[in-house]
A and B are shown apart, each in its own frame.
Chain A
Amino acid sequence: QSALTQPASVSGSPGQSITISCTGTSSVISAYNYVSWYQQHPGKAPKLMIYDVSKRPSGVSNRFSGSKSGNTASLTISGLQAEDEADYYCSSYTSTANYVFGIGTKVTVL
């Protein structure tokens, strides 16, 4: 299964909004509403930020939001903060209980 395509890096100034895209094939992202987004700080385990395209787990800031259009899912971070600087990975559920991940996007807060 091919990896999902994400931009290598996205940057923004504190307080700004940024959007990370995640593009897959028609058999993955558009076929299922099971896109998740994970935040990973260096040396740490990935943390679930968004699931089922746009749902936020308890405790995750409402500055994080997710959406999907066709074969592309997006993660938007509003009111960018220094603590948001991390790697972000998208993931989609596929058939037979497997998952495919994006290659990761490094978010830099300028």
Chain B
Amino acid sequence: QLQLQESGPGLVKPSETLSLTCTVSGGSISSGSYYWGWIRQSPGEGLEWIGSIYYSGSTYYNPSLKSRVTLSVDTSMNQFSLKLSSITAADTAVYYCASRPMATVTVDFWGRGTLVTVSS
């Protein structure tokens, strides 16, 4: 069974770039069996889809965040990453990495999430 683990700084200053990494275990990113994605949950708010990436590098972004988001994949490390630029307090959230099997459009497994606070 897949396991996903987010990592990265828990505190980021406004206007800087948020960088998070998701390490995948129990499966290989380069198998091509999954899309890999990021979802966030702001305090007291619902869930927001950020974007997804395939092992080949193909990406799909939430239009509302597209101008600030970059997803990348490192098959040698079995990791994929999120960069979100020009962050503000509104980007304070729990960030989850997640997987979606190629054969479906269902996001099935999620990491435990990591809280990122934007504050000076």
Which residues A1-48 have CB closer than 8 A to chain B?
1, 3, 34, 36, 44-48
Closest partner residue, chain B, to A104 (CB atom) = B46
Decide: A45 near B35, CB < 8 A? Known: A51-B106, A99-B49, A102-B46.
Answer: no
Looking at the complex, which one of B96, B107, B112 makes contact with A99 (CB distance below 8 Å)?
B107
Closest partner residue, chain B, to A52 (CB atom) = B106
In the complex, what residues of B have CB within 8 A of residue A52's CB? Answer: 104, 106
Taking residues whose C-beta sits less than 8 angstroms from the other chain, chain B's interface range is 20 to 34
Q: Once A and B bind, how many residue pairs between them come within 8 Å at the CB atom?
A: 57
A103 to B39, CA, bound (A): 14
Q: Is the interface of B mostly helix, strand, loop or mixed?
A: loop
Which residues B51-89 have CB closer than 8 A to chain A?
52, 60-64
Looking at the complex, which one of B46, B105, B110, B112 makes contact with A3 (CB distance below 8 Å)?
B46
Which positions in B face A, CB cutoff 8 Å?
A: 35, 39, 45-49, 52, 60-64, 96, 104-113
Which positions in A face B, CB cutoff 8 Å?
A: 1, 3, 34, 36, 44-48, 51-52, 57, 89, 91, 93, 96-104
